[in-house]
Amino acid sequence: MQRARRLVSIVVVASLATAGLTACRSEPSVAAYVGDSAKVTEARVQDVWDNAEEALTAATADQPEAPAMSITRADIVRTLVGHDVLTGVARREGVTLPAELALGDYATQLRLPQSAEYVRLYAEFDGLLRALRTKVQSSAPDATDDDLREVYDVLLSSGEIPAGTTFDQFKQQLPAENLALVKTAAAVRKEVAELTDTMEITVNPRYQPLNIPVLEFQTQSGQLSPLVVVPLGEGADSPVTDVS
């Protein structure tokens, strides 16, 4: 159960249903639409990717070969969309981005140089999430068995808790600080869903299925993996598919 202590909060976004596609929301050059007019273009995703790759290559110039990129294009889409949505949630809830962001710590966590734009985008995204989590800390209801079972199922299937551990054993052994993380993650997920229910988000099928983590855990290899998520829908045959 010590592994469960590595739970870390990250990021949040949400899903919503829309009536159907129109031609103006099916451009193959668009990775995602957020609201009536905002677009995350493929060109923007590529720019963030190229910037991170160039920064990594420069930082490891003295090595025989640059290490593999630790992020994917789907991660970039997730962060760009999440940044937009979370900004709206924070505005509605009256919270602001922390004045100081520990970019060095985020760079280490993401395995990218601090100069990479993605590190800043992710830090702002996570900073807003943490601010929201802090706000709901005292008012959030206790985590339900459904909330805890979601965490249990993920950790068990990924080998982060011993095979054969029952759900009741997991609940009894879960440290209080991790129980608090699940509690606030569930509350923030609800707040985000309330806002996105009034929006229109469309995601290109090449990035589906796309899950936005509200809470993640660190695996044995040091990778961050989703624990509590908000699904953004399944892929479909259309050039761009409405989230459902």
Predicted confidence band of residue 102 (pLDDT cuts 50, 70, 90): very high
- Residue 72 domain boundaries: 2-242
Q: CA–CA separation, 125 vs 219, rounded Å?
A: 21
**Token code pair at residue 147:** 């909330």
Tally: H helices and E strands in the chain: 7, 7
Q: What is the mean pLDDT of residues 29-36?
A: 86
pLDDT at 24: 60
pLDDT at 218: 81
pLDDT at 242: 46
Choose the most confident range, by mean pLDDT, from 7-16, 19-28, 181-190: 181-190
pTM for this prediction: 0.79
* Domain count of the fold of the chain: 1
User: Alpha helices of 137-212 — where are they, by DSSP H?
Assistant: 145-157, 167-173, 176-196
Q: What is the mean pLDDT of the chain?
A: 81
Do the Cβ atoms of 27 and 226 come closer than 8 Å? Answer: no
Q: What is the mean pLDDT of residues 231-242?
A: 45
Give pLDDT tens digits for 35-88. Answer: 777 889 999 999 999 999 999 999 998 888 878 899 999 999 999 988 988 898
Rounded to the nearest 10 degrees, how much is the dihedral formed by the CA atoms of 224, 126, 177, 230? -70
pLDDT at 45: 97
pLDDT at 16: 27
Of 234 and 125, the structure prediction assigns the larger pLDDT to 125
Return the bridge partners of 30, or none: 41
Q: CA–CA separation, 22 vs 119, rounded Å?
A: 34
Task: Residue 23: count other Cβ atoms within 10 Å of its Cβ.
Answer: 7
Q: What is the mean pLDDT of residues 77-102?
A: 90
